[in-house]
Amino acid sequence: MDYIIGWKKDKWLVVCCCMMTVLVLLLSSGYVYMTMHKVTRYQVFAGTELIGAVSDKTVVSDWLKKKREEAATMYPTVQTGLLIDPIHYLEQREYKAAFDNEQVLRALESKVKIQTKGVQVVIDGQPLGYVKDAAAVNRLFDLYKSKYVQQAEEQDGLLLKSVEFVQQIQLVTKELKPGDIDDNGELLKRIETGGVQPVQYIVQRGDCISCIAYKFHISQKTIYDNNPSIKSTVIRVGDVLNLTVLQPLLTVKTVTERAETVEVPYDTQYIDDPEMKAGNKETVTDGESGLKEVHYLTTRINGELVDEARSDEALLKPAKQAVVRKGTKVIPGVGTGVFAWPVYRAKLTSEYGRRWGSFHPGTDMVSEQSGILASDHGKVAFAGWKTGYGNCVIIDHQNGYSTLYGHMSKIVAAEGELVQKGEKIGIMGQTGNATGVHLHFEVRKGEKQLNPLTYLAKADD
């Protein structure tokens, strides 16, 4: 009996477990089914406005991309964009969620507008015109710069350091219509001329280059530059001259760099030698010039040279100093071979060479002081009157050279006397064939008359 009662209780327990198992299986199957039939959709918003739902965000992004491409194709001369409120999405995943791609695209189509923009070029606050974008501006400016860049490279060297405009340039992005964009050729012409109208002039009888320049308030250079066919001052009646004075809106500044190899002179060290006759020299060590590379920066404004300056230099090879022994021994009556000016602060009145149809064998000079000085050590070989020279002194320097001093008013030195360089030998006058008070000075080697300035210049070195 107890056994039967126990079994009945276990039977109900088994039935309940089976029913629970079936229920769990049914619920699980339903969950799996709903999960498998869930759909992801994206709610599309333009700003805060709900437009609709799409199956994927690429539906809208691809459509926007296509619209942008269509706008760019439709208006190639301007920048294009789409005017529409910011697009954002809300992702949803629901059982058999609904979406309508076409409806969303139609709604967006009704809201989007094509925007066209361009760039206004402003030079020193003055509008020039409109172009598509910054790239178009760069192409325009590069075209304008090109002739000055080429000119600078050809004239100054190969390395272009910089090219820039002097004026301040602004690029202002503005909304505009495609028809507002200016033609590049017209803009280039406007930059080059400044809007100045051509001026032509027909040469009349009595005209000349300077007369026309004065009449039109322009330079003669402008006339020659504008009319390369004019090679001289000769113009003919009926010639048509271009007198246009261009006023470019942009000034191009170019800076080029060139390098030159320059010789570096060597120094000379002199060593006094008391045993060597004064005026003589002997080279102990030969000097040798060095080399350096010098860089120059050349600045041009619209092709015209305005500045050239040394920018840098580098020593390539140092100079080698020369060493020279210089004699200091003075022998009475013997010249040093180095001639000093025979008057104080000489002013030349006539030089050595052809004069008045004949040969002038010396150099004439005057001075604020009347004293005449021996040009070098020597012995007075002649002191007296000499035809043509008047009162005259000749000094034999006993080294192959002699000097002559003519037209003196008074002779101080005596024939046979030993004189020192710089010693007074007479007073300036106009004796002999002379048209005024002055000194006639000659340098001779043997019997040959030489150009005194060649030797006096050495005395100044």
Structure letter (DSSP) for residue 180:
G
Query: How high is the pLDDT of residue 206?
Result: 86
- Residue 325 tokens read as 């022994």
The DSSP code sequence of 411-431 is: E-S-TT-EE-TT-EEEEEB--
Angle among Cα 315, 319, 322 to the nearest 5 degrees reads 170
What's the mean pLDDT when you consider all of the chain? Answer: 87
State how far the Cα of 272 lies from the Cα of 278, in Å rounded to an integer: 10
pTM beyond 0.85: the answer is: no
Q: Is the pLDDT of residue 460 over 60?
A: no
Query: How high is the pLDDT of residue 229?
Result: 87
Q: What is the CATH code of the structural domain delimited by 200-242?
A: 3.10.350.10
Contacts of 204 (CB under 8 A, 6+ apart): 237
What is the three-class DSSP state of 19? helix
Query: How high is the pLDDT of residue 323?
Result: 94
Domains of the chain, residue spans? 2-35, 39-111, 200-242, 257-329, 347-460
Contact 51, 80 (CB under 8 A): no
Write the pLDDT tens digit of every residue in 110-141. 999 999 999 999 999 999 999 999 999 999 99
pLDDT category at 328 given cuts 50, 70, 90 is confident
- Residue 429 tokens read as 């006058």
| Of 69, 48, 63, the residue nearest 103 (C-alpha) | 63
How large a percentage of the chain has pLDDT more than 70? 91
Tell me the Ramachandran region of residue 262: left when phi exceeds 0, alpha when psi lies from -120 to 50, beta otherwise.
Answer: beta
Structure letter (DSSP) for residue 112:
-
Q: What is the CATH code of the structural domain delimited by 347-460?
A: 2.70.70.10
- Residue 405 tokens read as 């001093």
What is the three-class DSSP state of 337? coil
- Kind plus residue range of the DSSP H or E element containing 162: strand 159-165
Angle among Cα 63, 68, 72 to the nearest 5 degrees reads 150
State how far the Cα of 198 lies from the Cα of 63, in Å rounded to an integer: 53
CATH of 257-329, one of 1.10.10.1590, 2.20.230.10, 3.40.640.10, 3.30.530.50: 2.20.230.10
The amino acid present at 265, given as its one-letter code, is P
